[in-house]
Every structure is written in C-alpha cells, then in structure tokens.
C-alpha cells in the first residue's frame, strides 16, 4: 500500500487521513474535495453559525496542518467525476489520480425544490457557502420566512429565524413531521416545541408552485390553492447521497454506495459518511437491510474505519454503531440514540404532551433499540450503552426507574436546601 | 495520562460518557462531570476513544 486517496473533504475524509497518519502510515495520502474550503464543521451551520452575530471559523484545521503535520496533498475545488475500479484511478478535473486504497466520502447534497433553480431568496443549508448566504439573508430586513420541510435542518433554521424575531411558517408534506426519524408520537411531541415558540407548523400541505417577481421569490402556492407570501424560502427536504460520479464504476449504488460490514464496496474501495450504506450488525434483528446515516458521529467513525481498512485490508474490521444525533431547537436540545424501529415507544421521564422535557425509549424485538430525550441531557447516553449491549426491554425499564428515583432524590435535596436558605433569610430579617 | 477538558468547547453531547462512563458523565444541565483527572489503569482505550469521539474536540490527553 503506497497511495491512499480519499474523495470527500468533509468530516469523514478528514478523520480518514488523520487516522492513518496517526497510525504511522507512511505512504502518499491525497484528499480530494469538491469545495474550495478546507474541511469544516457542518452541524453548527444550521444552528449557532446562523444565530450568532459573530461568525466563528468553522474550519477544523489550518492549511499548514495538512501540509506539515499530516503530509496530505489537498486537491480542493473540483469534484471527482469518475472512478475506474479496475485501473484504480479517480478522475478529478483533467487529472487522473491512481490509488492503491480508496475511501469514498463524498457525502450528500441538499435536495432542491423543483422550480426554484436560480431564484433569489431561496436557500438550502448544506455547505458553508449556503450558510453564509442564508446568514446574510436572515439579517437583510426580510420579515417572513417560509421553511419547506419540518425535518431537523428545517426545524433548526426555523428556530434560528424565530430567535431573530422573524415570522416563520414551516410547511410539511407529511401529516406528522419526522415520522421516519423518530416515529409518529415523538414527531408530534417535537412539533409542540415549534408551536411553543410561535413558529407555525402546517402539516399535510403540498407546495404546488413557487411564485416569483423578477427572479425573486414572492410567495408559495399550496395544494389547496392558497398563496402564502414570503420574503425567504428555506428548503429543507432532505439530502441525496453524492454518487452521480460513480456511474459506470461498477459499484452498487442504491441510495448510497452499498458496502459490506467492513465498509468495503469493491476491492481496495471503502466508504464512509453520508454516502455509505452498510449492514449495521447491532440492529440486524430489527432492520430490513443495510442502513445509511447522515450523522456526525458515524461519519467520523466510518472515516477512521474505512481508511484503516483501506491501507490494511487483510486486517479490515467490521463497523457497527449505535447511531447518535442531536439537534438544537430554540433553547432546547433534542438527542436521539439508536434506531426508531419497533412496536412501542414509552415515555419514561417527563411529559411529551407539551414538547418536553422528556425521555422516551423505543422497543423492538423485546429489547431497547432507541432513546430520545428533549432537554434531559444526562439521559440518552446511559441508554446508548444498553442498546449497544443488546440489553432487554426489562433492563431498560429498570434503568429508567433508577433514573427517576435519582431525579426525585436530587429534587428533594434541592428543595430542602432551598427551604434551609429561606429559613436562614427569615432568621436574618 | 491527564485528561484535559476545554470547558468553552464542551456542550455536553455525551459521546465521552457512552464510551467511558467511569470517567465522564453529563449532568442534567448538559455540563460535564469529570470523575477522574487521570486516565484510570486499564481504561486507556476507552478514554482514547472518548477523546476521539468528541464532536466539539473539547477533550485531549496529556502524558
């Protein structure tokens, strides 16, 4: 193994090159990125990066780190356009780059709303340039913001826009938002967070047409014919894995690049991040087939696994994980671990009727497979361990009972301390 | 090995707790409780994993 090529210069690609260099790999390493930017931190782009008046630099590393510390050749600004797995070459612009081992980490791109190409006032949030554009637009005197799609990205942007005191409406095609990600009851619970903060959520509505004047969005026409005026239109209708460049490569592409448990898609070719579809052995009893995640933690881990497997295929290791994602809405933190599969969701702490705080557990095959918490930050990671050990449902309920007892004891202690303070204040008065 | 936390960066995501619960715990308000200043014997791998898994790069080790 002399040349590792990593295509995709976001988190998974970064972690790929860092992992092998950290292990002492002394071959040549090339990192190819479609964007001009150095690898940067994506989760904040739909959250604090939009909300804060001062923009923190989202880049993970400086140029010098790649050149000096990591000894990585950066090929930025042009997307890879072709892969030849028999000749073992990747085409980038007019360059053909040979590889011995390859990591595909080209991620996903935001799905566009048909009929909005080139319209001013229409935004997606995926790249740093997208975020810079939207950040400016939210501060440009625009008053009305319409968000298409009540998923996590759309919800985060809606929350930021409300915090900037804009008028926000979310339009969702499904009757309940986030059904696929967290299930129906929990989708409803999270919708309450929006309503609590004055964001209007309209579900079961179709956007028939985007109306514009002189190339600038003016309104959207809904399925029932009503027109909704808007200054900005934010499109958050999901992301598609970036696999177009792999056409004709012989790799199996099916909503992502299909790989085996070791993330191998072909000899010498491994996948990582949003583009990867692989069988997650931890959930082989509850999932129908291989899964694809668009989460920070799995992208980081898969980047490391894929690169290590690519430079040492003889000792390639299988990757399995308990998925984890978080989302910040208003001042609330939403955290989810596991998969939202199964036959039952149980709220084990708090109350979901008004959007939390609460913790809910997901059951499938009589074991705990998922946990969702809203503003209960101490909870989900304790369940993540149970899920990773394939613990039964009873064990999860036992932990939940223990956590409730601990919370009650803590509350009683706090109350006693407060009473003590009040008594002391009374004595002094 | 000493465990360093950059408290300005930590936002209580909790990956560290799920990987090395004897050392890291997230409190109700999202603040991190560090149960050990030094990496406990026999837990080097878990703690290294936890450091690598931090989404805000708030953790580091000092030998």
- Indicate the domain borders of chain B: 2-62
**In a mutagenesis test of the A interface, which of B17, B18, B61 is the best target, namely the one with the most A β-carbons within 10 Å?**
B18
- CATH code given to domain A112-237: 3.50.50.60
Q: Report residue A374 as tokens.
A: 């809203």
Task: Please state whether A60 falls in left (phi above 0), alpha (psi between -120 and 50) or beta.
Answer: alpha
The DSSP-derived string for A44-70 is: GGGTHHHH-SS----BSS-HHIIIIIS
Question: Does residue A420 carry a pLDDT above 90?
Answer: no
The reported pLDDT for the residue numbered A224 is 93
Tens digit of each residue's pLDDT (9 = 90 or more) over A6-45: 999 999 999 999 999 999 999 999 999 999 999 999 999 9
Tens digit of each residue's pLDDT (9 = 90 or more) over B40-61: 999 999 999 999 999 999 999 9
Tens digit of each residue's pLDDT (9 = 90 or more) over A295-318: 999 999 999 999 999 999 999 999
Question: Does residue B63 carry a pLDDT above 90?
Answer: no
CATH fold, domain A3-109+240-315, is FAD/NAD(P)-binding domain (3.50.50)
| C-alpha pair distances (Å), A145 with each of A178, A188, A201 | 20, 22, 12
Contact A333 B21 (CB under 8 A): no
Query: How confident is the model over A312-327, as a mean pLDDT?
Result: 97
User: How does residue A50 score in pLDDT terms, banded at 50, 70 and 90?
Assistant: very high
Homologous superfamily of the A331-412 domain (CATH): FAD/NAD-linked reductase, C-terminal dimerisation domain (3.30.390.30)
Residue A40 near chain B (CB below 8 Å) = no
CA B5/CA A364 separation, integer angstroms: 37
The reported pLDDT for the residue numbered A387 is 98
Tens digit of each residue's pLDDT (9 = 90 or more) over A333-352: 999 999 999 989 999 999 99
CA A76/CA A58 separation, integer angstroms: 17
The reported pLDDT for the residue numbered A428 is 74
How many alpha carbons lie under 13 Å from residue A22 in its C-beta half-sphere? 12
Instruction: Please name the residue of chain A whose CA is at the shortest distance from the CA of residue B28.
Output: A378
Q: Report residue B5 as tokens.
A: 């936390």
Tens digit of each residue's pLDDT (9 = 90 or more) over A216-245: 999 999 999 999 999 999 999 999 999 999
Q: Report residue A91 as tokens.
A: 């085409």
The reported pLDDT for the residue numbered A426 is 76
Contact A378 B27 (CB under 8 A): yes
Percent of chain A with pLDDT over 70: 100
The reported pLDDT for the residue numbered A8 is 98
Give residue limits of the domains in chain A: 3-109+240-315, 112-237, 331-412
Q: What is the sign, positive or negative, of the torsion defined by CA atoms of A411, A415, A417, A418?
A: positive
The reported pLDDT for the residue numbered A162 is 97
User: How does residue A291 score in pLDDT terms, banded at 50, 70 and 90?
Assistant: very high
Q: Report residue A358 as tokens.
A: 């609460």
User: How does residue A429 score in pLDDT terms, banded at 50, 70 and 90?
Assistant: low
Tens digit of each residue's pLDDT (9 = 90 or more) over A170-217: 999 999 999 999 999 999 999 999 999 999 999 999 999 999 999 999
Same fold, A3-109+240-315 and A331-412: no
CATH architecture for the domain at B2-62: 2-Layer Sandwich (3.30)
Contact B28 A301 (CB under 8 A): no
Query: How confident is the model over B18-28, as a mean pLDDT?
Result: 95
CA A240/CA A247 separation, integer angstroms: 15
User: How does residue A421 score in pLDDT terms, banded at 50, 70 and 90?
Assistant: confident
CA A262/CA A312 separation, integer angstroms: 12
Q: Report residue A75 as tokens.
A: 């090929």
Using CB atoms and an 8 Å cut-off, which of residues 3-62 of chain B contact chain A?
A: 12-15, 17-18, 21, 25-30, 52-53, 55, 57
Q: Which residue has the tokens 């566009």?
A: A112
The reported pLDDT for the residue numbered A407 is 93
The reported pLDDT for the residue numbered B43 is 95
A369, A341 contact by CB (below 8 A): yes
Q: Which residues of B touch A322 (CB under 8 A)?
A: 18
Question: Does residue A134 carry a pLDDT above 80?
Answer: yes
The reported pLDDT for the residue numbered A56 is 80
Instruction: Please name the residue of chain B whose CA is at the shortest distance from the CA of residue A323.
Output: B15
Contact B26 A335 (CB under 8 A): no
For the packed helices A184-196 and A152-163, what is the interaxial angle rounded to 10 degrees? Answer: 10
């Amino acid at each position: 193994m002399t040349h590792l090529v990593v295509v995709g210069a976001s988190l998974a690609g970064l972690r790929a090159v860092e992992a092998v260099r950290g292990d002492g790999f002394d071959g040549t390493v090339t990192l190819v990125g479609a964007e001009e930017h150095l690898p940067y931190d994506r989760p904040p782009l739909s959250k604090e990066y939009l909300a804060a008046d001062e923009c923190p630099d989202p880049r993970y590393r400086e140029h010098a780190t790649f050149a000096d510390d990591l000894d990585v050749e950066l090929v930025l600004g042009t997307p890879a356009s072709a892969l030849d797995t028999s000749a073992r070459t990747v085409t980038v612009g007019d360059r053909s780059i040979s590889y011995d081992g390859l990591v595909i980490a080209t991620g996903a791109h935001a799905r566009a709303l048909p009929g909005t190409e080139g319209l001013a006032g229409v935004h997606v949030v995926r790249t740093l340039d997208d975020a810079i554009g939207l950040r400016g637009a939210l501060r440009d005197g625009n008053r009305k913001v319409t968000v298409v799609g009540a998923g996590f990205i759309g919800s985060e942007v809606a929350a930021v826009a409300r915090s900037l005191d804009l008028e926000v409406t979310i339009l969702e095609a499904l009757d309940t938002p986030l059904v696929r990600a967290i299930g129906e009851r929990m989708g409803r619970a999270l919708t309450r967070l929006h309503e609590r903060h004055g964001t209007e959520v309209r579900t079961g509505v179709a956007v028939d047409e985007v109306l514009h004047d002189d190339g600038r969005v003016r309104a959207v026409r809904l399925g029932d014919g009503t027109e909704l005026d808007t200054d900005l239109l934010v499109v958050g209708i999901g992301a598609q894995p970036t696999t177009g460049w792999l056409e004709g490569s012989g790799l199996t592409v099916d909503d992502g690049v299909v790989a085996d448990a070791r993330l191998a898609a072909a000899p010498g070719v491994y996948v990582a991040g949003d583009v990867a579809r692989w069988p997650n052995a931890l959930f082989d009893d509850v999932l129908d087939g291989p899964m694809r995640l668009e989460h920070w933690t799995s992208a980081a881990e898969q980047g490391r696994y894929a690169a290590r497997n690519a430079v040492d295929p003889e000792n390639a290791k299988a990757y399995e994980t308990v998925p984890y994602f978080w989302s910040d809405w208003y001042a609330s933190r939403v955290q989810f671990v596991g998969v939202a599969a199964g036959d039952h969701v149980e709220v084990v702490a708090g109350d979901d009727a008004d959007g939390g705080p609460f913790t809910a557990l997901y059951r499938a095959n009589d074991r705990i497979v998922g946990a969702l918490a809203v503003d209960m930050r101490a909870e989900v990671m304790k369940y993540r361990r149970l899920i990773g050990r394939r613990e039964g449902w009873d064990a999860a309920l036992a932990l939940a009972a223990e956590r409730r007892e601990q919370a009650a004891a803590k509350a009683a202690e706090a109350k006693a301390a407060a009473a003590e303070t009040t008594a002391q204040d009374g004595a002094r008065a | 090995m000493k465990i360093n936390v950059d408290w300005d960066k930590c936002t209580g995501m909790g990956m560290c707790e799920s990987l090395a619960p004897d050392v890291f715990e997230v409190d109700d308000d999202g603040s991190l409780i560090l149960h050990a200043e030094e990496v406990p014997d026999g837990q080097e791998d878990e703690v290294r994993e936890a450091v690598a898994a931090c989404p805000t790069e708030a953790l580091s080790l000092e030998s």
